[in-house]
Structure formats: structure tokens, C-alpha cells
Copies of this chain bind each other. A is one copy, B any other.
Amino acid sequence: MSNPSLLILPGDGIGPEVMAEVRRIIDWYGDKRGLAFDVSEDLVGGAAYDAHGTPLHDDTMAKAQEVDAVLLGAVGGPKYDVLDFSVKPERGLLRLRKEMDLYSNLRPAQCFDALADFSSLKKDVVAGLDIMIVRELTSGVYFGEPRGIFEEGNERVGINTQRYTESEIDRVARSAFELAMRRGKKVCSMEKANVMESGILWREVVTEVGKDYPEVELSHMYADAGAMQLCRWPKQFDVIVTDNLFGDLLSDAAAMLTGSLGMLPSASLGAPMENGRPKALYEPVHGSAPDIAGQGKANPIACILSFAMALRYSFDQGAEAERLEKAIETVLADGVRTADLLGEEGVTPVSTSGMGDAILAAL
């Protein structure tokens, strides 16, 4: 049997430097744990635009469809702000999500014990926090038609369409319930059913899916109340399931609450391929951070933890994922810190690759 294949898309800004550390980890798994991957690398985002005039070349798209998993760094940067909407770096990422049909975006919001002090929230509110936000990723207002800027009378109007079919809601809800079964057995679904008909349908379908998971406690919350409750007492949640746009805001807020933004990975999963593995793309939650790019200041942990998610969700290597997560916890407990995590007394500041060294040593 051939090795599982990985396509690496470092992207822009700090993407390449954090991905370099991931590659060292991948190599370690090949050398030391007999888990070799066929790794190829390609361009996405601004880097792809610079090379090809498009944020995602068709060849790259085709490769992404064939591999067992894609690892992405980050896209975007001020240099590309002037580009037309259709070729902005983000479009490369959105095309990957859409064409790979990665409908279930898993965004864990976890607070690392060693870092609880970095949260703007009180320690008792966030210490030990471990929630999972499941965000629908291939539909809703991100992709709905009609969309665009149109002339109307003597002015322009900007239009986007929020749009969800029953089956789109059904499949992402199912993935949330499946996750909840392996976690705290609670799902909270968030929409604006009091204002939006798409939210009414969302609530109805999630309720219906919930009947197939009688062990899971299902609740519903308006998204504004959800934003409030995330800020007030996030530990009340286990799994949250929500649409593409609400998920964008709510998962970012939740990530920030943990104080561990540079630490948070994500998995975007689609339907199973022929080999049984889901279509999958893994990426850190943080952006391309152009202000610190190329300076060895970036924290590679979110990207490394994204690879840990790949081990768990694409390659059925839960124990190896845990090994990697434990190594990272050890390193943090030892006080090893990249620039984003400085501020405490008695810690050891390291560069991006210094963090990679420390994690490899802990492995």
C-alpha cells in the first residue's frame, strides 16, 4: 500500500514559516513512528496570484481533490488589498472549501492551562475550556446567488444571498451530533430563527436530525444570545453547530476568549472518499499576520495542531495525535514561548523554529 498523501499549501504571510515547522513534525512521524506521508507542496492565495494571476491554479485544485488531506497555512496580506474581489487571496481558500465540498468545519476552542492568563477573560471563566464549534462551510451567504453590486435607479446596491437547503443543514448537523457522541453529548444550534426564514428551516432540520441521537441533549439559541453566552460563560457549551457566517464570527470570538489564538487549529471535512477517508483540509484559525511575517516570530503551534487533527480525522491515528498534543502541552508547561505568548516571568522566549525544536525534543 502506498503512503497516505498530503498536499501542503503554505500560502502567505507567516504561512510558509509555520508550515516549515509542520514539515519537520511530519518527517519525524515518518522516521520515528513509521507513519510516512507522500508530501507535495503548492501555492495558494497571494503567493499563487503572484505566480499565476489566480489565487488557486486549476492544477492545484485538481491535486487537492486527489490527496488524502490538504494542510493550509494562511492566505492574504495588504499587498493584495487592491486586487479585484474575484482574484483576492481569500477566493483561493473559498474555492478549495467549495469544490472539495468541505461542509463541516471543526473549530475547537480550547484553553491551554499554561496560557489561561493570556485570556482577557477571568481565569475561572476560561480555565479548562474545551468546546467544539461546527461551522457549515460550503453554503449560506458565502456562496448564495444572486450576489454582486448592481445598478438600481440612480444608485448601486450590494446583494448577497443566504441560502440553505435541507440536505445541507442535515449533513452538517449530523457531523455535529457525531462529534457530540464522542464528547460531552450536548449540541447547541445557533441561528436567527426569530428574524430569518433560513434560520427557521435550520432549526427544524437540526431538530429532526437530533431525533436520531436521543442520547445527545439538543438546545437552540439565537446567534446574538449565543455571542453573549460565549462571552459570559463559555463552559456551558460542548458542541455548537451553526451556519457559515455566524460560525465565522462566533468561532473567532470563542477562539479569542481562550487567549490561545495562535494555538487553535481547524479541520474542514467533506464526504468520505473511495478509500473511506473524508475529504479534508486542515488549517490554523489565525490569519497570515503580515506584520510579523518572515521574522521568526510566528507561533507554529496552531498549524502543528492542525496536523494533529489530520492524524485524528483523516488517518485514524488518534493516539499519535494525542502524542503530539501532549508534547505541545509539555513544551508550554516548561515555559517555552514564542513572541505572541511573552509577558509572564520566568519563561523561555523562542523563535518559530525554536518552538519546532522544543516540540520535536518533547516528542
Contacts and interface: CB of A to CB of B under 8 A. Distances in A.
Interface of A: 76, 85, 88, 90, 94, 120-122, 125, 141-142, 144, 147-149, 152, 155-167, 192, 194-202, 223-225, 227-233, 245-246, 248-250, 252-253, 255-257, 261
Given A196-B141, A231-B256, A249-B249, A159 B158 contact: no
A228 B200 contact: no
Contacts of A249: 223-224, 227, 246, 249-250
A161 B160 CA distance: 6
Contact of A165 (B157, B230, B246): B157
Contacts of A167: 155
A142 B227 CA distance: 18
Nearest to A150: B197
A167 B158 CA distance: 11
Contact of A202 (B85, B90, B158, B197): B158
A120 to B, nearest CB: 5
Contacts of A165: 152, 155-158
Contacts of A199: 158
B156 A166 contact: yes
A164 B155 contact: no
Contacts of A228: 252-253, 255-256, 261
Contacts of A144: 159
Best-buried of A148, A156, A195 by chain B (most CB within 10 Å): A195
Contact of A159 (B166, B197, B224, B232): B197
Contacts of A163: 157-159
Contacts of A223: 248-249
A158 B120 contact: no
A11 B283 CA distance: 47
11 contacts: A121-B121, A122-B122, A142-B196, A149-B200, A149-B201, A156-B165, A157-B164, A158-B202, A227-B249, A227-B250, A231-B253
Contacts of A197: 85, 147-149, 158-160
A166 B67 CA distance: 45
A363 B202 CA distance: 49
B157 A166 contact: yes
A302 to B, nearest CB: 14
A246 B142 CA distance: 14
Nearest to A148: B197
Contacts of A88: 194
A141 B223 CA distance: 14
A208 to B, nearest CB: 12
Contact of A122 (B90, B121, B164): B121
A264 to B, nearest CB: 11
Contacts of A227: 227, 249-250, 252-253, 256
Best-buried of A76, A85, A164, A194 by chain B (most CB within 10 Å): A194
Nearest to A153: B165
Contacts of A196: 141-142, 147, 158, 160
Given A246-B249, A249-B227, A158 B90 contact: no
